[in-house]
Amino acid sequence: MSLSTEPLAATGAVGAAQQAAPALAARTSGLRKVYGHTVAVDCVDLEVPQGAVLGLLGPNGSGKTTTIRMLLGLTRPSAGSVELLGVPMPDGADRALPHVGALVEGPGFHPFLSGRENLRRCAAAEPLLPTEGISRAVDEALERVGLGHAATRKYRGYSLGMKQRLGLAAALLVPRRLVVLDEPTNGLDPAGTREIRAVMAELHGSGTTVVVSSHLLSEVEATCTHVAVLHQGTAVAQGSLAELLDAGTPTLTVSTEDVQIAVDTLRDNRIPFWSDVDSVRVELVTATPQQVIEKLVLAGVGVREARRERTGLEELFARLTESDVREGS
């Protein structure tokens, strides 16, 4: 996993702007949702700063979609409150939602209509879209998600990725203040995933706040300025990406063919680490890089490469959600 530095730089900028004018695009407090005996979401206090790209992370069933549905007023919380663009939800839905574009729980369209006709139907319901602007908005949205060539084909015949793109197009029909995307890269090929990232970067660039849920960590790490991690319905971590990354310990990745020897050595020395097929990642809490390499080399481990890295979000995520993965500490 590589760690790009661009989002960090962006975080810095947003962080500075925030201090000048603290403003939130969305906020939940004490949010809770119970379905029968299932507690889907519990005590979630989410804060989405304006202009941020917030990654909502969590394994399957952790409550991402439920949280998003409550944000959008599609479901009433069992307890707690939601404010969207400064308006309480779901009562203020009519005021806030025109400025919000969303793709929730996969795209929903009619199979017997073409992509363009489906979008026209969505566009007709958009309060901020003037009637004479519908045609253009629809065509532009189709082009933006790369569906221009398939606009006249029936939705029935769309591939999974094309359906997902059409869903994204519906969220982008109008310039938005907030765009909420629930697992937008579901079913997309690598090119599609890159395009989604590009769209999100574009939205971010134009000042739109973005909330994106995902269980693919790499995705969130590459595109988000802020992260909230959900686990079994509660937010176990949230903050700016930079903050969360700094909170993690730096690591040293040692590539070697003698992983087993390395594992034994580290365990003997009580140095925490994760192991992989051809490398070990050592947490630099108790030992310095020099000490680690010295110990490994002395134990006869053929060190091919040693690289110092900061903790990636993947480790953070793993630590927060599946703490039993870690060995050796």
Partner 1 sequence: MTTASIASPQLLERTPRAPLGRLLGAELRWVLRRPRTLAAFGVLALVPLGLGLLMSMMDFGAAPLQGPPVLASLLGNGMVLPLAAMGMAMPLLMPMIVSMTAADAIAGESSHGTLRGLLIAPIGRTRLVVVKAVGVAAVTALAVAVLALLGITAGVAFTGTTEFTSLSGTSLTFMEGIGRVGVAAAWVWLQMFAVAAVALALSSLTDHPLVVLAVMMGTLIVFAVLGGIGDLSWLHPVLLTTGWMSVIDVIRDPMESTALVESSVRALCYIVIGLSATIARMATKDS
- Please give the residue ranges that form the binding site for ligand ATP (CB under 6 A): 35, 38, 40, 58, 60-66, 215
Are residues 236 and 64 in contact, defined by beta-carbon separation less than 8 angstroms?
Answer: no
Stretch that binds Mg ion, among 63-71, 160-168, 194-202, 315-323 (CB under 5 A): 63-71
Size of residue set near partner 1 by CB under 8 A: 51
* Distance from C-alpha of 249 to C-alpha of 231, rounded to nearest angstrom: 21
Q: Which does 62 bind (CB under 5 to 8 A by kind): ligand ATP, partner 1, Mg ion, none?
A: ligand ATP
Residue 252, strand partner residues: 282, 308
Contact between 100 and partner 1 per CB under 8 A: yes
Stretch that binds partner 1, among 15-23, 197-205, 271-279, 298-306 (CB under 8 A): 15-23
Helix (H, G, I), strand (E, B) or coil at 299: coil
Site string for partner 1, 110-139 (x = CB under 8 A): x-xx---x--xxx-xxxxxx-x--------
Q: Which does 198 bind (CB under 5 to 8 A by kind): partner 1, Mg ion, ligand ATP, none?
A: none
* Distance from C-alpha of 80 to C-alpha of 97, rounded to nearest angstrom: 20
Q: Which does 83 bind (CB under 5 to 8 A by kind): Mg ion, ligand ATP, partner 1, none?
A: partner 1
Among 65, 75, 164, 234, binds Mg ion (CB under 5 A): 65
Residue 131 Cβ vs partner 1, minimum distance, rounded to whole Å? 6
In single-letter form, the type of residue at position 183 comes to E
Nearer to ligand ATP by Cβ, of 72 and 280: the residue is 72
* Distance from C-alpha of 137 to C-alpha of 182, rounded to nearest angstrom: 22
Total number of residues shown for the chain = 329
Phi, psi values for residue 161, rounded to 5°? -65, -35
Nearer to Mg ion by Cβ, of 65 and 265: the residue is 65
Strand 226-231 versus strand 53-57 pairing type = parallel
Are residues 225 and 14 in contact, defined by beta-carbon separation less than 8 angstroms?
Answer: yes
* Distance from C-alpha of 228 to C-alpha of 58, rounded to nearest angstrom: 9
- Residues forming the site for Mg ion (CB under 5 A): 65
